[in-house]
Amino acid sequence: MANRTLIMGVLNVTPDSFSDGGRFLDTGAAIDHGMRMAEQGADIIDIGGESTRPGAARVTPEEEQLRVVPVIASLTRNGIAVSIDTMNAATALLAVENGAAYVNDVSGGLADYFMAKAVSATGATFIASHWRGQSATMDKQAIYKDAPSDITRELKQRVEDLLADGIAPDRLILDPGLGFAKTEAHNWQMLGRLDELMALGYPLLVGASRKRFLSALLPDDASLDERDNASVAVSVLAANAGAWGVRVHDVARTHAALRVLDSWNRGAERPDTVVDEIFLTERQESRARTEALAEQINELTFDFDAELAIARELALEEVTRTTIAGRVRDEIVHEAAVVAEAALAEELAQGELTTGELNG
């Protein structure tokens, strides 16, 4: 797989989110939780101040902003990438002003007429989910002929409208909006055919974490922990299907599971890579060996020449020495002969020697 699937950690600063029960309404606790999720491997923290739980009542934008802005400001100041989960253009603008890089709108820009125009002016990335209506009524709108193709067609229309409103195509991410105006079966059908949505050519975010359609697979008294096991499994499968990101509550476990998937997929690429690596290493090693040998030969040639020069010099010295020694010896012999001859001549002259003795 080309790119690693990103992890978006859910941070609901609400008193009534169905999945984390409003545990983070306290600003300090929300910031701490966001920091912890970033440490655990979240690439983006998705901060929401309004519950999208089926049947949930809406809050005023002011109340929503009071909840989310301090958390966004604090996390972005700490270098953490943040997305604002909102259907209000005013909240989106305030969030981006405070550092949010993504605007995650579960209504895909349908709930607030100004949303797309406002976001396009900021340069933030827009995440548009498939949506058919507010939480209070959405369950009644879960009627499809063929859910995956209906969802894909509706999102395609949404994309055209968003681009017309100025959203840049490279700043647009789509989301099937699992659980929004969808029955349990619709969600599974959509997950099984994510490739159809992906064919629209935009990165895909998948948010299945702790949703009702997963709980339906588990016993009634299933704990949050058990629900997270199912969420992690969906995240892995969505990532394997090519999702750009997964929106999850349990970041640590998702991170560990996605690392497994990553290794698995890299394992599938392995034989070629390993063979290539071996060949490359062998080639590099043999080149290094050749270069070292060439250097040694150079050194050898140089030494050989030097040795030869020294030998020549020594030979020359030897010849000179022998010549001089020869001459000295010759001279000594000659000198001795001259002295002996002179002595002989003198003896002869003094008559000490007779010619007969001399001849005898």
Annotated catalytic residues are 211, 247
Residue whose CB is less far from ligand PMM, 22 or 348: 22
178 binds ligand PMM (CB under 6 A): yes
210 binds ligand PMM (CB under 6 A): yes
Q: Residue 160 class from Cβ within 10 Å (0-12 exposed, 13-18 middle, 19+ buried)?
A: exposed
Taking the CA atoms of the chain, what radius of gyration do you get in angstroms?
46
Residue whose CB is less far from ligand PMM, 112 or 175: 175
Among 6, 7, 10, 236, the residue binding ligand PMM under the rule CB under 6 A is 10
Under 8 Å between Cβ of 150 and 104:
no
Contact set for ligand PMM, span 244-303 (CB under 6 A) = 247
127 binds ligand PMM (CB under 6 A): yes
For residue 220, the minimal CB distance to ligand PMM (Å) is 20
Could you write out the DSSP letters of every residue in 33-73?
A: HHHHHHHHT-SEEEEESS---TTPPP--HHHHHHHHHHHHH
Buried b (16+ CB within 10 A) or exposed e, 192-206: ebbebbbeeebbbbb
107 binds ligand PMM (CB under 6 A): no
- By CB under 6 A, which span of 11-19, 91-99, 114-122, 149-157 interacts with ligand PMM? 11-19
* CA–CA dist 89, 111 (Å, integer): 9
* CA–CA dist 75, 39 (Å, integer): 12
Residue whose CB is less far from ligand PMM, 51 or 120: 51
Q: Checking DSSP bridges between strand 125-129 and strand 82-85, what pairing results, if any?
A: unpaired
Residue corresponding to tokens 């199912």:
230
Closest CA to 232 of 201, 254, 199, 206: 254
18 binds ligand PMM (CB under 6 A): yes
98 binds ligand PMM (CB under 6 A): no
- 133: left (phi > 0), else alpha (psi -120 to 50), else beta? left
For residue 272, the minimal CB distance to ligand PMM (Å) is 36
175 binds ligand PMM (CB under 6 A): yes
Number of residues this chain uses to bind ligand PMM (CB under 6 A): 20
Among 5, 17, 107, 152, the residue binding ligand PMM under the rule CB under 6 A is 17
Among 6, 7, 12, 103, the residue binding ligand PMM under the rule CB under 6 A is 12
106 binds ligand PMM (CB under 6 A): yes
Among 86, 91, 104, 134, the residue binding ligand PMM under the rule CB under 6 A is 104
For residue 41, the minimal CB distance to ligand PMM (Å) is 18
Residues 6 or more apart whose CB falls under 8 angstroms from that of 27 comprise: 13, 70, 71
- By CB under 6 A, which span of 9-17, 195-203, 228-236, 301-309 interacts with ligand PMM? 9-17
103 binds ligand PMM (CB under 6 A): no
85 binds ligand PMM (CB under 6 A): yes
Under 8 Å between Cβ of 71 and 34:
yes
Give backbone dihedrals phi and psi of 352, rounded to 5 degrees, phi first.
Answer: -70, -25
227 binds ligand PMM (CB under 6 A): no
User: With the CA atoms of 1, 101, 209 and 143 taken in that order, what torsion angle do they form, in degrees rounded to the nearest 10?
Assistant: -100
Classified as helix, coil or strand, 104 is: strand
Q: How far is CA 237 from the centre of its chain?
A: 21
Among 6, 37, 52, 115, the residue binding ligand PMM under the rule CB under 6 A is 52
Chain residues binding ligand PMM by CB under 6 A are 10, 12, 17-19, 48, 52-53, 85, 104, 106, 127, 129, 175, 177-178, 205, 207, 210, 247
